[in-house]
Structure 1
């Protein structure tokens, strides 16, 4: 059974309650509170806000001797909670309870409302008895303010010559935040705490780097592979903790990068690719909660098939498990794709492809929506919004790299994908197109883009767009996704990137599109974070100026080289043609002297106030056949 908790709403955003009761620093005090209640005689539970069910899902209330469950909302009277029908709170006085447990934070006013209804001599406790320390709250007056729980998790490994490097910036300072700090806890694979630490950030958009190799040395740790829990204290503007995650190794051939974990566990994830013959695919399952994932809590099935195979093992609270998908689906083969029955137990999971030649790369699956229905208006959007939804991705220089596209169903209601592929050169000219027709949900069709680009890009680069194409019928909901795979013919190294479509660069709006990172739609400007890798690696970046309908002929893009302290070092101007793209290396746009001045842990802020760009970042290590590269989409703020 999936956890009966609310984690995210596409209307209201992330939920804070599950974060509050599942925070690593809350687990101990809540357990102690429940232990006291279990020894304190009969307990009446008052649930004025509907938090009892999710609370019990994470922490359990089996040890309580219940005197009754009481609610405020008359529509909830009779609802089964903890196995008992809920009663009106006006009946609380006759419960005979020795203690009343109010399942709420900031409960003072709620308790005052029922003071006259309390049984004689009954004690009152609430979740306020298990709050985080006051110094960790940016808004102590509203405990469940999402900005009090700007948290995320990361897969964090330093073992067997493999290392992890997380990079982000104090972008909260750009929204006026002062004295921001970060509290971290590192868990091992069994959910055991290895180390806690807290560090202050400058009052500037300074870079923030967590390197597993450095952390291991600083705290004298041994090998580890688990989860890094990150809590930003004092956040403003964004309650989302975004980062770029690089994996690198003692061996030069170990290199990959991926996006942040997405802090809200979901029911389903999809876009997990099956292995090619000789390869292995490991699905990294990170328990987002302090309670164990029970055996049978996580399952896999081939996309479009109903047969689900369940993982027959428990994963401890905050524990991490690498599941070889061949254990559950031994016959799955690329280009088949796999749906993850996640039950709201895990954050967006990473997968690791172990190639037959031993090379490894990490990428992520995506959230599969359960709330979407096909929108019959989408076929008509072209009259108003041109191409409408666009899923853009790089075509890396064709003299060295092969690019592959795999459309991926990413909502439970998507029974088909009516799509087409268009290829654009850097100047924004469409040079090739291919209609894929109406792809059934269970069919996985990988498109080798070499077939389309040969003779058009002539060894150069460009970009591909996956678009809706309703010529053969079908339906769409806007949640159009794809997996893009890039292979280096020179080294055999590869990289995966997957993501969803948006409407780009049109002033008309549809629902929340063109998406805006801050404020209401339309989003018609760019603020992207490009992390820069340490030597001897160079940083690569591919910027795409996608446009649903004609927009400004040229972008006015600035590449702002910024030091680790948040100081602007230099700016490089770029003009990208509408529907075109720009591929560059850090070493090509800023000379050695400027890069030296920027120093270690510098980053590039990609800024454009005239259009919305979509970006991809990566690292490249030139070392002959031992070389490697990485690539994934960037984040903005």
Structure 2
């Protein structure tokens, strides 16, 4: 059974209750509270806000002598929660309870309302007993304010075999007016034990913040570890989402890879996990996001579109990590088959790691599979007003050096079919080819070699462009707007590979439909760009593939500023770029800026990509060796 918690609403966004209940700093006081309640005798639950199920899911009330559940809302009377039938709170006096647990934060007023209803001699306790320290709260007037819970997890590893991780983000909260922003970091090992925790100031607005696993080991005298890093931003403004770029690197080029933030709300399902290709090992990192163990049989895998689920018969400790070898649970599957993850809201969007036979590895992530969607009959008619409508852009790397593949991925339980085509465009925005996938079944395993089709259609092998997945109803089918794909790139020279996955949006159109074109801040349409391109450590060159996608014709060319920033958010140098509408632009840090400028930025700087005339979509990575001939990484970028 999945955890009975609310994590995210597509109407109101993130829901902070589970974060407040499961915060690492709430664990010790919650344990003390449960021990106190267990020793106190019969306990009645008063649940005026409907939080009892979430409290039970995170902190397990089964060790208490529960003698009743009481509610305030008459319509909630008779419902069964935590194994108890809800009664009106006016009956509380007859419960025989020695203690009443009021399942709410900031509950003094709620408690005062019912003190006269307590059984004689009983005391009332509230969830305020497990609040995190006041110094950790951004808004001390409202405990469950989402800005108090600007938190996230990151896969984090450092070992003696040359596997390191490096997390980089910017103090974009400072750009929204936040002052004295800090981050609390808590590092967990695979068993869920705390290895280290510390607080750091984030520095000036739009400056960078970096956590390198090698530096963490030196600072705290740690041995090798594989686990997760918990981040809590204190003093946030504008955004309650902690975004970051995460590089995996090492002394050898074979471990270079990158991914990004974990999408901080645990989901029921994730999809787009690839089955291993010949000679590959695929590991799904199951990393528990809660202070309660994941029980045996709670995490499962199934072939996408098939009902049989194979369950993980191992417990994962609180905040612990488990390396799940896909082939041990799902033998016989092979790329391009794809796998659905039964996650049960136990973890945020996970990482998966693929190791090739030659030892080269890459890391990426599945995506949240929506359970709240249904086919939208209006989407097929959008073409009259929205042109391409929903589209998913991705690079076509120079075919002379890279293989570029696309695999459409079902990403909603409502997607029984996928009516999809892919459009190929050169870097000037000219359409050079179009391939109809037809109406793919949910359990399809059909990929397309984008580079080969591009060259066959006239693209020079040394050139580049991009592809756009779009809806195509020529063979029928339904759509819900949650169109996704996995893009895999392999270097023909070294065999190194990278992959990324994302979903479609409506781009660069003034008309709006269902919150599209999406905006990072404010109401749609989102028609401007602010993207973060981190600079890699010494020995690597950062690159970027910028795409100017347009659902219909927009401005003829972009007015893009590429600003090289130092770690304090100060501009060191700037370049202007005009990207044709529907085109793309590929550059490297050291190819665009000279040596003196790069030295002034330092390896803790970044490139800010800004455009107030259009919405760009970008992919970034690092390259090792001349022009990436040794290895490279690639993932889509984040904006703020």
Specify the TM-score bucket, using the shorter chain as the normaliser: over 0.9
Q: How does 1:105-254 map to 2 (within 5 A)?
A: 105-159=105-159, 160-254=161-255
Cα distance in 1, alignment partners of residues 362 and 599 from structure 2: 30
1:539 and 2:545 matched: no
Partner residue in 2 for 1:84:
84
Cα distance in 2, alignment partners of residues 302 and 463 from structure 1: 30
Cα distance in 2, alignment partners of residues 450 and 536 from structure 1: 28
* 8 A contact 2:397–2:451 mirrored in 1: no
Cα distance in 2, alignment partners of residues 584 and 263 from structure 1: 31
Post-superposition offset of 1:625: 9.8
Partner residue in 1 for 2:526:
523
Q: How does 1:104-503 map to 2 (within 5 A)?
A: 104-159=104-159, 160-455=161-456, 456-458=458-460, 459-503=462-506
Partner residue in 1 for 2:4:
4
Cα distance in 2, alignment partners of residues 310 and 4 from structure 1: 19
Query: 1:236-276 CA distances to partner (integer Å, 9 max, x unpaired)?
Result: 11000000110001112220001211111100000000111
Cα distance in 2, alignment partners of residues 583 and 475 from structure 1: 35
Cα distance in 2, alignment partners of residues 429 and 55 from structure 1: 56
Cα distance in 1, alignment partners of residues 234 and 333 from structure 2: 44
Post-superposition offset of 1:67: 2.9
Post-superposition offset of 1:624: 9.4
Cα distance in 1, alignment partners of residues 55 and 628 from structure 2: 53
* 8 A contact 2:399–2:452 mirrored in 1: no
Partner residue in 2 for 1:13:
13
Post-superposition offset of 1:54: 1.1
Cα distance in 2, alignment partners of residues 97 and 324 from structure 1: 48
Cα distance in 1, alignment partners of residues 96 and 467 from structure 2: 69
Cα distance in 2, alignment partners of residues 493 and 67 from structure 1: 61
1:227 match: secondary structure: strand
State which drifts further: 335-344 or 200-209: 200-209
Query: 1:394-422 CA distances to partner (integer Å, 9 max, x unpaired)?
Result: 01112211100000000011001101111
State which drifts further: 254-263 or 89-98: 89-98
Give the root-mean-square deviation of aligned CA atoms.
1.1
Partner residue in 2 for 1:68:
68
* 8 A contact 2:254–2:359 mirrored in 1: no
Cα distance in 2, alignment partners of residues 270 and 84 from structure 1: 35
Q: How does 1:53-64 map to 2 (within 5 A)?
A: 53-64=53-64
Cα distance in 2, alignment partners of residues 623 and 355 from structure 1: 22
Cα distance in 2, alignment partners of residues 109 and 51 from structure 1: 17
State which drifts further: 227-236 or 61-70: 61-70
1:591 and 2:594 matched: yes
From 607, 611, 614, the equivalent of 2:610 is 607
Cα distance in 2, alignment partners of residues 250 and 450 from structure 1: 31
* 8 A contact 1:408–1:444 mirrored in 2: no
Cα distance in 2, alignment partners of residues 67 and 304 from structure 1: 44
State which drifts further: 201-210 or 369-378: 201-210
1:94 and 2:97 matched: no
Cα distance in 1, alignment partners of residues 191 and 111 from structure 2: 39
Cα distance in 2, alignment partners of residues 253 and 101 from structure 1: 54
2:61 match: secondary structure: coil
Post-superposition offset of 1:584: 0.4
1:110 match: secondary structure: helix
* 8 A contact 1:615–1:634 mirrored in 2: yes
* 8 A contact 1:252–1:626 mirrored in 2: no
* 8 A contact 1:295–1:311 mirrored in 2: yes
1:119 match: secondary structure: coil
1:556 and 2:594 matched: no
1:253 match: secondary structure: helix
Cα distance in 1, alignment partners of residues 8 and 52 from structure 2: 18
Partner residue in 2 for 1:27:
27
1:418 match: secondary structure: strand
Query: 1:215-237 CA distances to partner (integer Å, 9 max, x unpaired)?
Result: 11111000000010000011111
State which drifts further: 82-91 or 314-323: 82-91
Post-superposition offset of 1:119: 2.3
From 511, 516, 535, the equivalent of 2:514 is 511
Please, which runs of 5 or more residues in structure 1 have no aligned partner?
none
1:86 match: secondary structure: strand
Partner residue in 2 for 1:617:
620
**How has the CA–CA distance of structure 1 residues 625 and 151 changed in structure 2, closer, same or farther, with 3 Å as cutoff?**
closer
State which drifts further: 181-190 or 198-207: 198-207
State which drifts further: 593-602 or 544-553: 593-602
2:179 match: secondary structure: coil
1:578 match: secondary structure: coil
2:219 match: secondary structure: helix
Partner residue in 1 for 2:46:
46
Please, which runs of 5 or more residues in structure 2 have no aligned partner?
none
**How has the CA–CA distance of structure 1 residues 303 and 323 changed in structure 2, closer, same or farther, with 3 Å as cutoff?**
same
Cα distance in 1, alignment partners of residues 219 and 594 from structure 2: 33
Cα distance in 1, alignment partners of residues 376 and 354 from structure 2: 36
Cα distance in 1, alignment partners of residues 6 and 75 from structure 2: 19
Cα distance in 2, alignment partners of residues 290 and 566 from structure 1: 36
Post-superposition offset of 1:82: 2.5
Post-superposition offset of 1:111: 1.1
Partner residue in 2 for 1:627:
630
* 8 A contact 1:279–1:354 mirrored in 2: yes
Post-superposition offset of 1:626: 7.4
State which drifts further: 74-83 or 338-347: 74-83
2:254 match: secondary structure: coil
